[in-house]
Structure 1
């Protein structure tokens, strides 16, 4: 499902030396950084994008989910395309098409066009991350493979930190299209350096069969499910014929996909991996955990900007500290995961995640900037102990020839869960806010002393009765979304704790293949 085995590639091609290795590492890291950055850079810019293009913030989340779904669907094609066109040519095509689609995103005149270009951007980005890992490993001697992957992992941790901060600054000080335009010079420079160094290190190509029917069914059920989740609230869920049709396509498509893939000689997704206890428990914990994490990362800046008066820059600053502990602790986790039971590390991650969202659930409309930032700082600890141990569990015990397929399948599940987590979180957020608003509105009646006192206060300040009621409604909106945000955070804390037993279903994992492929989890 993904690129060829990184170890095999490294063994087949002599390592680079001197300045070529340094420049190659920088170029590959820059391309990876650009790719991962785009998974989070739009988060804090959603209110600005939505307002500029005339849609609701909930509809604006399609900018995130379209990228994630298309990226997940592209992952299974990486192995096929690598063998058909070669690692270097495919990587170059991925980078250059990513640059083109980024420019198109910045030029999009409306939300429909932007979503289409974001989907294209996510799709062409599919091969970039696994191939950057493979090319980087081929650049280093086997003894320094750990160093190469540590540097690669740090890049993928810094990018999500910089995304909200950079996106917020650009949105406030320039304009939101530039969150996409900045990819153009970075991508062109990375492509130029990569081609100059790696063009003579191309891998052999051969014609291989592709499971076109399996891929088509995959696109059908994943796309239908995501559309159903994204448009459900807007169309009043199953009262809409369109939503019912999407649900039917998703269910039937998924059933046909399972039946086809289990009998196909060259399946696009190797479902037989789910027979392995460590694989399904690790992949399930990773996917649900990542979906919860990503959903919360989208909701927090939306709440801060819409109801707490934060600018895009200040909302990005709240999210930025998440990488501090992650960058410091990740190399330690990578070096020790072979000696410490990774289930212990993963348990620590989910406990810290639960504590963090539990702290956020206690926020109020009076909570200050520093208090909001503290849980984000602590969350970096959870991130450091999340990816590497869970991938070690997921891939442990697998023969080397099955690791690429297993890594690709777990990546597909994780990326899809992240996109769905965004849709589900925003839908639940608005539903809970509507419920709380209705409950608060019941208290505003002629028999309520508090309501009468508030109306009198606004009246004495010169507000008309209609203006006074509008002010009360605005306060009710702020409080209802605050309560809805707390509901989501509390529910997330419970779910993080419930994921811990799933980790312990797995057998003890002993480093090895899993730690080698850990970077692929990002």
Structure 2
């Protein structure tokens, strides 16, 4: 095995490798959200339905979740530098093919291939950055990587909105090409691979484990992505894939525990710190992707903002997170316990959610969001680096790569659970709020009569006939009820997210992480 000294870099080389890895992580994360604002243009240009075009997002997410836990094994098989470079090439070529797709199913297929390349970039970038820094600076290394992971989801929508407004939807894929070419050349020139020893022959590969993994996480991701759209377990396809997911998880766990050379080494989860870090990564993914999903949804649906406006609003929050990362990394380096930083992050995130709950009105404006979102950014800054370093803090050698893969996969799944739960809650709770509000609007109520009369008089003065004015007044009243029910629903969502994070605080504080430090020698992811 290569020793630590052969992997740690200093000076210019370390700067170049860090930039390359962060750039690749950013590429992958941005591409998970950049397409969201281009779906309408894709739909019209490719002659697809909304259900069809939503597969552009789903295919990428499923491919991501499938490939992430396999990255450690694939790196070992082909060498990390080779695997990382090939992943960038796959991502770049499929980006070009996505932009040139002539129908929706071509685009979906190429997005799936892009997701296979992209998922590898995310986790392998983290391991590369970890290895090129000496152990005492690992907190800072995770901070630099975390900037890409946290900032990426919020940069996607405004960047996508700008490109769609000023160019056309294929360019959201074409912008990956020059960055991908540069990243490939830098990887081949500067990134090193540990010496893994012998490779497995094809007959020794855990094909069954890989098959069960694909069935398990692919089916689970499908259920989470499509459940609300198909009314969950009222739909035979959702039921079928849910059963396949449960069966796949069971068979995958069984296979990996009995296999001589498993594709994913589950025994590494016996490590207490990794087990804790994996749970915390799920919660972090829930908060990060869930809030990134619900904030633009609220501002566009309830306040009538454009996608570009909603996306730009999140940028200062990302900057705040980026500024916090090195500070938190330094705090860990100085010996402050990760659990106290994580508890502080959860508490700050609760403060953000409670603040959001209190400012939601029909007249909420951009100025009301700025400091609230800055608080969100600070909270995420306190969460990412400590969670990641805690998860990897007592692993050794190749276990570090497996640990990074687990936390990466679980963070993605946490985001998928968060989005699925929030979208289902919004859909159903808004109906309930609307019904409750409608029950309080009686044509015999004097206040309601006065309100309708005032609106009717306004329409009459603008030239409407008596019947038309009456109809328009009733329609406006109905719209007001709908908007109010939406506002109440989003208030519930923000409060619910906040309470969830607040409840986590005492559990984090009673954790007793192992004292071991990561031995960065003989790393093998």
Structure 1 position 243 matched with structure 2 position 238: yes
Q: Give 1:386 shift.
A: 0.6
Partner of 1:41: 34
| Residue correspondence of structure 1 range 460-479 to structure 2 within 5 A | 460=460, 461=462, 462=464, 463-479=468-484
Partner of 1:99: 92
Partner of 2:507: 502
Structure 1 position 368 matched with structure 2 position 365: yes
| Residue correspondence of structure 1 range 377-396 to structure 2 within 5 A | 377-396=374-393
Higher mean alpha-carbon deviation, 82-91 vs 265-274, is at 265-274
Matched residue SS, 2:258: coil
For 2:422 and 2:56, how far apart are their aligned partners in 1?
A: 15
For 2:9 and 2:378, how far apart are their aligned partners in 1?
A: 34
When residues 466 and 101 of structure 1 are mapped into structure 2, their CA distance, relative to the original with a 3 A threshold, is farther
Q: Give 1:360 shift.
A: 1.3
Structure 1 position 354 matched with structure 2 position 340: no
For 2:426 and 2:393, how far apart are their aligned partners in 1?
A: 37
When residues 181 and 38 of structure 1 are mapped into structure 2, their CA distance, relative to the original with a 3 A threshold, is same
Q: Give 1:75 shift.
A: 1.5
When residues 113 and 432 of structure 1 are mapped into structure 2, their CA distance, relative to the original with a 3 A threshold, is farther
Partner of 2:250: 255
For 1:497 and 1:140, how far apart are their aligned partners in 2?
A: 34
- Which deviations, in whole Å up to 9, do the C-alpha atoms of 1:134-178 show, x marking residues without a partner? 555666778877766554444444434433332232233333432
For 1:146 and 1:210, how far apart are their aligned partners in 2?
A: 35
Q: Give 1:501 shift.
A: 3.2
Partner of 2:159: 166
Structure 1 position 207 matched with structure 2 position 192: no
C-alpha root-mean-square deviation of aligned residues, in Å? 3.4
Structure 2: where are the runs of 5+ without partners?
Answer: none
Partner of 1:323: 318
- Which deviations, in whole Å up to 9, do the C-alpha atoms of 1:397-430 show, x marking residues without a partner? 3334422222211221111221232222212211
TM-score, length-scaled by structure 2 = 0.85
For 1:110 and 1:495, how far apart are their aligned partners in 2?
A: 42
Q: Give 1:84 shift.
A: 2.3
Higher mean alpha-carbon deviation, 103-112 vs 245-254, is at 103-112
For 2:8 and 2:500, how far apart are their aligned partners in 1?
A: 47
The question of whether the paired residues in 2 share the 8 Å contact of 1:170 and 1:178 is answered with yes
When residues 13 and 401 of structure 1 are mapped into structure 2, their CA distance, relative to the original with a 3 A threshold, is closer
For 1:158 and 1:237, how far apart are their aligned partners in 2?
A: 31
Partner of 1:222: 217
Q: Give 1:295 shift.
A: 1.4
For 1:152 and 1:180, how far apart are their aligned partners in 2?
A: 23
For 2:500 and 2:138, how far apart are their aligned partners in 1?
A: 36
For 1:60 and 1:484, how far apart are their aligned partners in 2?
A: 27
For 2:278 and 2:363, how far apart are their aligned partners in 1?
A: 39
Structure 1: where are the runs of 5+ without partners?
Answer: none
Q: How many correspondences in the alignment?
A: 509
For 2:257 and 2:128, how far apart are their aligned partners in 1?
A: 32
Partner of 2:434: 437
For 2:337 and 2:362, how far apart are their aligned partners in 1?
A: 42
Higher mean alpha-carbon deviation, 21-30 vs 495-504, is at 21-30
| Residue correspondence of structure 1 range 19-418 to structure 2 within 5 A | 23-45=16-38, 63-108=56-101, 113-135=106-128, 151-197=144-190, 206-208=198-200, 209-338=204-333, 339-362=335-358, 363-418=360-415
Q: Give 1:495 shift.
A: 0.7
For 2:482 and 2:287, how far apart are their aligned partners in 1?
A: 25
Q: Give 1:241 shift.
A: 2.2
The question of whether the paired residues in 2 share the 8 Å contact of 1:232 and 1:243 is answered with yes
Higher mean alpha-carbon deviation, 175-184 vs 94-103, is at 175-184
Partner of 1:427: 424
For 1:201 and 1:274, how far apart are their aligned partners in 2?
A: 25
The question of whether the paired residues in 2 share the 8 Å contact of 1:395 and 1:513 is answered with yes
For 1:481 and 1:110, how far apart are their aligned partners in 2?
A: 35
TM-score, length-scaled by structure 1 = 0.86
For 1:279 and 1:337, how far apart are their aligned partners in 2?
A: 17
Q: Give 1:235 shift.
A: 2.9
Q: Give 1:305 shift.
A: 1.6
Q: Give 1:196 shift.
A: 4.5
The question of whether the paired residues in 2 share the 8 Å contact of 1:74 and 1:127 is answered with yes
Higher mean alpha-carbon deviation, 351-360 vs 222-231, is at 222-231
For 2:493 and 2:290, how far apart are their aligned partners in 1?
A: 9
- Which deviations, in whole Å up to 9, do the C-alpha atoms of 1:369-391 show, x marking residues without a partner? 11122221111111111112112
Matched residue SS, 1:418: helix
